[in-house]
Chain A
């Protein structure tokens, strides 16, 4: 772990705590008068969220606001399955019947904001407090376009390399934090060979979002990318880096469960929690399930930053940067949703509860929450503090996403690439159809070029 990361891993200094509390006191604890403006509107405010208890916590907070200031309103959560998000979102938008408030992953939010389908939220950001973000992130990571903020942070959520440390120790496979791509592959091979009924590594290879994200992390580690925002969003996917990442996935395949070619989020979590796989890339979700269902696995799990690429040294993860946005279309509750968002986003209690609802899956985005002593009252801090801090803090210098590749520029085309599963299909051409990686990369690039050409309007004249 380098020094910078070590510094980030120790956020609980007295000085830092006092300064952050001062920020919170000045900007957040007092609920702005704007959020206290009563509303006489009635009805149900529909809120979309991904599966998980945290969406429910946020909606509980919004309902607390409604109880105080808009008694005729009820906020209601509608949970969308991960792999169904894009289709549900697009069909409801097309039918002009989207939810009134949406929690969505950044690539899809970027597409919507570039398509001018979202309400600008600069006024909300102002009330929430512009200076509250944790070190290493910027507001634009959640969704800003042409100088306007369209998305309010809900959490950040990076993948990490999840490792069964008991197996790694038993087989003498070294310190996972120091692994390169080659080391991780060797570890996966050794585990597959020596541990009966345990796959060395479990990654999603199905035609779904999880595969998109797993592959994107490897692509970015290798230094490759899909589009180049600095050069009119030219497609740069047909590159040696893409080929290398595809070759690497293919070389890992023998050490994965055979069913991995149809794996998505749920199956990867299952393989970790049930002990059928020893290594994976995943968000913090398996810890909660393992704690409930398989204590020995929970005890042995630790998460580290992704393995280093041997040449670039990059350890890119896929960070969700999930945020709240408000669709413009047919939305009679814009003011109420804004007020409710301010209410919950300025309440450290609700934000801590949000993080606690699924540790360590949803990382705090505000300093006053990260440094809040109440956050550390969660029992996982007693045994998994390093893992939690890897997800919360140490993942940030290595964060990347398809919508903001290597954090070098927002790309509104990524949502469409996910909608069409272009990355996952590229991977499947190699692992299922046995295409050469170079041919699959060419195919993927051609599809992306089709997306770019058909959506030049999203690029706002820069394409």
Chain B
């Protein structure tokens, strides 16, 4: 750059470099996020069999009528809500508790912090297959352990009875994703100014009071983000349920992602599957807006 360069030139050059850096992400986002969403929305108005793409036909809102009239869609929606709600509540409670424990200044605590990541980094397919064996009613280690400890007399059919299968899928999700909550909360805990606790102590607040009045308000924002993300990800989850129970027994662990997969791939009704995806997108968008509104997350503190 020449010595005569003005601040405006600098700004222009910065902008150009900035745009240059953004371009790869923008292209990737357009290709892998925006285009699939637009294509899914378009497909939801078509009858489309992938074996016969030339016979694709615009049918308006027919796919949406099909799913809204299908009892299995509503059952899947209800089960998805139960599975998401239970998973998120448990992940949040356990995640925050673990973060508080791991925040204690104990010798060797960093080892436990490292170990905590284990469930999160192991591929879901590995965990699901291992859990299938562990939860096998007849030869699984879980029943064997419970029997050996004298806690049960009869085998529990973890994956073969509707309520137990739902419980098992929730357990898998909680086990795998609680570390995500813990890590986020722990990171925030470590940035809370100690002066706040000191002041609360001076004012005579006990441990529980300090948690309620100091820790929890400080965690509110991170918990809002974590809960929103975990809700979106859990509601959309496919692989854990599919690998563990395939949505069964019966359709007792179907969620909307599995329902969409069944319609798209097993039934080759891509339009119907896409319509489910569009409905899920709107549901989650609306849910996120409401949640952020309730917790006033979108308000600027400086306003």
What is the interface of chain A, defined by CB distance below 8 A to chain B? Answer: 86-87, 90-91, 93-95, 115, 117, 206-208, 257-262, 276, 419-421, 425, 428-429, 432-433
Contact = CB atoms under 8 A, between A and B. Distances in A.
Interface string B227-265: 000000000000000000111111110000000001001
Nearest to B247: A207
Contacts of A258: 137, 155, 157, 160-161
Q: Interface of chain B, helix or strand or loop or mixed?
A: loop
A261 B267 contact: no
Contact of B268 (A90, A207, A208, A421): A90
Interface string B107-143: 0000000000000000000000000000011100000
Interface residues of B, number: 24
A-B residue pairs, 4 tightest by C-beta: A94-B50, A432-B250, A262-B160, A428-B250
B137 A259 contact: yes
Given A91-B265, A259-B160, A420-B266, A207 B250 contact: yes
Contacts of B267: 419-420
B266 A421 contact: yes
A262 B155 contact: no
Contacts, number: 69
Given A87-B265, A91-B50, A115-B51, 9 more contacts: A93-B51, A94-B51, A206-B249, A259-B137, A259-B157, A259-B159, A260-B160, A425-B251, A432-B250
B263 to A, nearest CB: 10
Q: Interface of chain A, helix or strand or loop or mixed?
A: helix
A90 B51 contact: yes
A273 to B, nearest CB: 12
A421 B174 CA distance: 30
A309 B160 CA distance: 29
9 contacts: A95-B50, A207-B251, A257-B138, A259-B136, A261-B160, A262-B245, A262-B248, A428-B251, A432-B248
B138 A428 contact: no
Given A259-B160, A433-B250, A86 B266 contact: yes
Interface string B200-228: 00000000000000000000000000000
A261 B159 CA distance: 9
A421 B251 CA distance: 11
A145 to B, nearest CB: 17
Given A90-B51, A94-B51, A262 B249 contact: yes
Interface string B250-290: 11100000000010011110000000000000000000000
Contacts of A86: 266
A277 to B, nearest CB: 11
A87 B138 CA distance: 29
Interface string B148-179: 00000001010111100000000000000000
Contacts of A261: 160-161, 248-250
B249 A432 contact: yes
Contacts of B155: 258
B106 to A, nearest CB: 44
A259 B268 CA distance: 30
A429 B160 contact: no
A208 B160 CA distance: 14
A206 B161 CA distance: 11
Contacts of A115: 51
B228 to A, nearest CB: 33
Looking at A207, A208, A260, the one whose CB has the most chain B CB atoms below 10 A away is: A207
A276 B137 CA distance: 13
Contacts of B266: 86-87, 419-421
Contacts of B159: 259, 262
A207 B265 contact: no
A425 B157 CA distance: 20
Contacts of A87: 265-266
Contacts of A206: 248-249
B27 to A, nearest CB: 24
A420 B247 CA distance: 13
A93 B265 CA distance: 12
Nearest to B268: A90
Looking at A95, A259, A419, the one whose CB has the most chain B CB atoms below 10 A away is: A259
Contacts of B160: 258-262
Contacts of B262: 420
Contacts of B248: 206-207, 261-262, 428, 432
Nearest to A257: B138
